Structure 1
Amino acid sequence: MSEAPVRTDVAIVGAGPVGLFAIFECGMLKMHCHVIDTLEVPGGQCAALYPEKPIYDIPGFPRVGAAELIEQLLEQAAPFEPVYHMDQRVEKLERNGEWWRLTTSRGSVVEAKAVILAAGVGAFGPNRPPLENLQSYEGQSVFYYVTKPEDFRDRSVVIAGGGDSALDWSILLADIARKVYVVHRRPKFRGAPDSVAKLHALAEAGRIELVVPYQLDRLEGQDGALQAVIVRDFDDAERRLEADRLLPFFGLSMDLGPIRDWGLDLDRQALTVDPFTCETNLPGIHAIGDVASYRNKLKLILSGFSEAATAAHAIHPRVHPDEELHWEYSTTKGVPGKA
């Protein structure tokens, strides 16, 4: 059953870095935002997939960790008091007079004068290995993302996969976990050459154990508490790895989901927008970041930041139709609560 609708100036779909910066840009123009995201915490892929990874192309930051960038963006948005609706997906988008009505998978209803779709490549989730009773371990012993490496201190961890995520976390957790097994179906890994070299160096030093060529076969445990991971090679030989944590890194499945059914013009997995306003074919619906498509589009975080500003300025007349916009630089205008 849907809740009573709440009304706001702008609804932002997606709480990744670009969506978070859109809160700031709208706030500077006196527009309040509600933000909806499928993940449990803000940050998008930066928070869910690579919080420890450095980013090098953010202006003013020669190097910034993904998690640190999200923390800074949240702090930057905080003075404008956004409302976050996390762990839910927008299922329906429909017109209600002068308002756009968004209904989520949890029954929340948000009505807004304008909508900014900052959904990245769409809702994403992990590619789960085909293991019996896997879901009974998820969230307690099996995790697809690492948000707090300290949660794995002194744990015995099996990491499955051969790409960058598997390598990065194997290297980082080697200094934290009691034991790290790396399970991959072949001896060759697909990650960055420097990471592959570090992985083999750690294995030679005895700080991690490479379990290759093996694949996950089944889990042993009780009531969500993992006790062992059983792996099997291509000769049908088994190994039992005593472990209390499993991190399967087999990539993501990404899909625009219900967005496809909202009558928006699509360009493959993206939405066609006017580059001068970031508006879609539906008036009042804007798209920014990776989900937006136009000629010579660059899929960079900094491009998404620029698009957030473009969309906010284009939306302002819709939210404040009787107010002429006299834009001032932030250095002269300031931010609420800041000197």
Structure 2
Amino acid sequence: MPQTPLETDVAIIGAGPTALFAAFECSMLHLKTLLIDTLDEVGGQCAALYPEKPIYDIPAHPAITGGALVEALEAQIAPFNVPRLLGHQVTTLSGYRGAFRLGTDKGAQIHAKAIIIAAGAGAFGPNRPPLDALGDFEKSGAVRYYVRRKSDFTDKDIVIAGGGDSALDWVVELSDICRKIHLVHRRDRFRGAPETLARVESCIASGKVEKIVPYQLHALHGEDGTLAEVEVIDLEGKTRRLAATHLLPFYGLSTDLGPILGWNLAVTRNTLPVMPVTMETSQPGIFAIGDVASYPGKLKLILQGFSEGAMAAHAIYPIIYPETALHFEYSTSKGVPQPG
């Protein structure tokens, strides 16, 4: 039997930080909201990829981990009891502004008057290095693409491969607990914030980190999924073997908008172009915020995604209440509902 459709004012596709704050902004405007996400928990990439990694550009927080940020956002929307449909991927979308119909891969049906797509960069997965027997070492946990618990690497010899922000950030974060870190990159130039680069150089100077450049990953050595050495090779074919129990390759994420590509929305470079004043996509009533949204001057920062969520909520209000003027009030004046 078909499931009874879930009725809501706003369906938010995604449940990462930007989506959670958009749910708060919608709820403050008395818009009934539903969160939908393919993951089994809220938090998006923050929860799935780097729950213990500090984020430094959240206003009023000199540093906050991804996990702590998600917990704070959950506490912020707790008074509204926002329902969520987790472990569901939205596969079908039809209808029009004020009357959309969504279907998920688990058979759920949702009726919504407006939609906010806050799906980050879409479905994401790591770019894997082309190494023999890689799968065996992935299964054992010797090769990892995300750090969920820093304590797993206490007193370990590890190799971190990559030259971008993720590789450099984790060099800094793990340098105090690892016995030795080898930082492998194909050239002696890294892409990171000046402060992070300075901290990495400090770690190298202290002897906690050894920079292996210009080298690339070449082979993994060990038995039954237990890693013993990571072999690297330079441009002239010279190889080195680095003792290591873990390899952390940070070569970025491969992303895919998936079913979104079939929803007749304008797409540019795997993003959804929007009107920057309203965050509305090429289809009326469908809005996009966060990394998936693009417009001139866009910055891919969580704090900008928060602002976009507020703008989308205010643009949606007249769709839900077409005959009611929105008299904006500051939260210091109106407050929020209290639990219970």
TM-score, normalised via structure 1 length: 0.81
CA displacement at 1:103 relative to structure 2: 3.5
Give the secondary-structure state (helix, strand or coil) at the position aligned to 1:137.
helix
Unpaired stretches in structure 1, ≥5 consecutive residues: none
Unpaired stretches in structure 2, ≥5 consecutive residues: none
C-alpha contact 2:18 2:290 (8 A) present in aligned 1: yes
Instruction: Determine the C-alpha separation between the residues in 2 that align with 1:31 and 1:174.
Output: 46
Instruction: Determine the C-alpha separation between the residues in 2 that align with 1:220 and 1:4.
Output: 54
Residue equivalent to 1:230 = 231
Residue equivalent to 1:253 = 254
Are 1:123 and 2:123 counterparts? yes
Residue equivalent to 2:79 = 79
Q: State the AA in 2 paired with 1:151.
A: D
Instruction: Determine the C-alpha separation between the residues in 2 that align with 1:149 and 1:265.
Output: 40
Instruction: Determine the C-alpha separation between the residues in 2 that align with 1:227 and 1:41.
Output: 34
Are 1:337 and 2:307 counterparts? no
Instruction: Determine the C-alpha separation between the residues in 2 that align with 1:279 and 1:134.
Output: 43
Q: State the AA in 2 paired with 1:152.
A: F
**Alignment CA distance shift 1:110-1:180 (3 Å):** farther
Instruction: Determine the C-alpha separation between the residues in 1 that align with 2:246 and 2:286.
Output: 43
Instruction: Determine the C-alpha separation between the residues in 1 that align with 2:154 and 2:71.
Output: 23
CA displacement at 1:24 relative to structure 2: 0.3
Residue equivalent to 2:43 = 43
Give the secondary-structure state (helix, strand or coil) at the position aligned to 1:228.
strand
C-alpha contact 1:50 1:165 (8 A) present in aligned 2: no
Q: State the AA in 2 paired with 1:179.
A: K
CA displacement at 1:273 relative to structure 2: 3.2
Are 1:28 and 2:33 counterparts? no
CA displacement at 1:129 relative to structure 2: 0.7
Are 1:164 and 2:142 counterparts? no
Residue equivalent to 1:263 = 264
Residues 90-101 of structure 1 aligned to structure 2 (within 5 Å): 90-95=90-95, 99-101=99-101
**Alignment CA distance shift 1:175-1:294 (3 Å):** closer
CA displacement at 1:305 relative to structure 2: 2.5
Instruction: Determine the C-alpha separation between the residues in 1 that align with 2:190 and 2:298.
Output: 32
C-alpha contact 2:154 2:178 (8 A) present in aligned 1: yes
Residue equivalent to 1:315 = 316
TM-score, normalised via structure 2 length: 0.81
Give the secondary-structure state (helix, strand or coil) at the position aligned to 1:138.
helix
CA displacement at 1:248 relative to structure 2: 0.4
Map Cα deviations across residues 235-279 of structure 1 (whole Å, 9 max, x no partner). 444443333322101122234333222111334443333444333
Give the secondary-structure state (helix, strand or coil) at the position aligned to 1:70.
helix
**Alignment CA distance shift 1:42-1:313 (3 Å):** same
CA displacement at 1:290 relative to structure 2: 3.7
CA displacement at 1:21 relative to structure 2: 0.7
Instruction: Determine the C-alpha separation between the residues in 2 that align with 1:158 and 1:245.
Output: 6
**Alignment CA distance shift 1:275-1:158 (3 Å):** closer
Residues 150-229 of structure 1 aligned to structure 2 (within 5 Å): 150-221=151-222, 224-229=225-230
C-alpha contact 1:156 1:245 (8 A) present in aligned 2: yes
Instruction: Determine the C-alpha separation between the residues in 1 that align with 2:231 and 2:107.
Output: 40
Residue equivalent to 1:114 = 114
CA displacement at 1:85 relative to structure 2: 4.2
Give the secondary-structure state (helix, strand or coil) at the position aligned to 1:266.
coil
Percent of residue pairs bearing the same amino acid type: 51
Give the secondary-structure state (helix, strand or coil) at the position aligned to 2:316.
helix
Instruction: Determine the C-alpha separation between the residues in 1 that align with 2:116 and 2:210.
Output: 46
**Alignment CA distance shift 1:163-1:287 (3 Å):** closer
Q: State the AA in 2 paired with 1:144.
A: Y
C-alpha contact 2:203 2:209 (8 A) present in aligned 1: yes
C-alpha contact 2:172 2:199 (8 A) present in aligned 1: yes
Instruction: Determine the C-alpha separation between the residues in 2 that align with 1:318 and 1:201.
Output: 54
**Alignment CA distance shift 1:312-1:188 (3 Å):** closer
CA displacement at 1:160 relative to structure 2: 0.8
Instruction: Determine the C-alpha separation between the residues in 1 that align with 2:41 and 2:239.
Output: 38
Q: State the AA in 2 paired with 1:27.
A: S
Map Cα deviations across residues 44-74 of structure 1 (whole Å, 9 max, x no partner). 454535853443463xx16242524333222
**Which shows bigger deviation, 228-237 or 45-54?**
45-54
C-alpha contact 2:157 2:243 (8 A) present in aligned 1: yes
CA displacement at 1:116 relative to structure 2: 0.4
Are 1:15 and 2:39 counterparts? no
Instruction: Determine the C-alpha separation between the residues in 2 that align with 1:54 and 1:176.
Output: 19
CA displacement at 1:12 relative to structure 2: 1.0
Give the secondary-structure state (helix, strand or coil) at the position aligned to 2:218.
strand
Residue equivalent to 2:64 = 65
Instruction: Determine the C-alpha separation between the residues in 2 that align with 1:165 and 1:303.
Output: 20
Say how many residue pairs are matched.
337
C-alpha contact 1:220 1:230 (8 A) present in aligned 2: yes
CA displacement at 1:286 relative to structure 2: 1.4
RMSD over equivalenced CA pairs, Å: 3.5
Map Cα deviations across residues 141-173 of structure 1 (whole Å, 9 max, x no partner). 322222332232233322111222212211221
Map Cα deviations across residues 301-331 of structure 1 (whole Å, 9 max, x no partner). 4443233223223333444567765554322
C-alpha contact 1:183 1:215 (8 A) present in aligned 2: yes
